[in-house]
């Protein structure tokens, strides 16, 4: 942050990036979603909540690897299809332009 004040990002003498602009990127929905997923993943790893499932899958892969591969691929395909369906059912976010209309040329 201090770096932007000491050595500002300029082009042709105009300041293009301020400290406020730097912080605007941290409010991006995609960044918040990825950080949240990383925290949930770490929590699942730390608590061992998925360990019983991992044991079952590991035993299945050891006993019948071809069948386990087939089940894993089918489960992955189903999850991808469900994810696409849910994504398409959500209402689309519309960008609104609140700028005043340009004055008509006379």
Residue range 77-93, pLDDT digits in tens:
999 999 999 888 877 76
The whole-number pLDDT of residue 11 equals: 80
Q: d(Cα 59, Cα 65) in Å, to the nearest integer?
A: 9
Q: d(Cα 21, Cα 83) in Å, to the nearest integer?
A: 33
Res. 98: pLDDT tops 90: no
Are the CB atoms for 85 and 96 separated by under 8 Å? no
Assign residue 12 a region (left: φ > 0; alpha: ψ between -120 and 50; beta: otherwise).
Answer: left
Q: d(Cα 100, Cα 94) in Å, to the nearest integer?
A: 18
For the segment 10-47, what is each residue's pLDDT rounded down to a tens digit? 788 788 777 777 777 787 888 899 999 999 999 999 99
The whole-number pLDDT of residue 25 equals: 75
């Amino acid at each position: 942050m201090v770096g932007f004040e000491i050595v500002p990002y300029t082009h042709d003498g105009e300041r293009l990036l301020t400290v406020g602009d730097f912080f605007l990127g941290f409010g991006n929905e995609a960044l918040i979603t990825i950080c949240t997923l990383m925290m949930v993943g770490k929590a699942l790893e730390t608590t061992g909540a998925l360990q019983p499932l991992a044991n079952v899958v590991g035993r299945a892969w050891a006993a019948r690897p071809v069948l386990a591969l087939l089940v894993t691929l089918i489960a992955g395909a189903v999850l991808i299809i469900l994810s696409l369906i849910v994504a398409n059912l959500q209402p689309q976010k519309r960008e609104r332009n609140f700028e005043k209309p340009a004055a008509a040329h006379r």
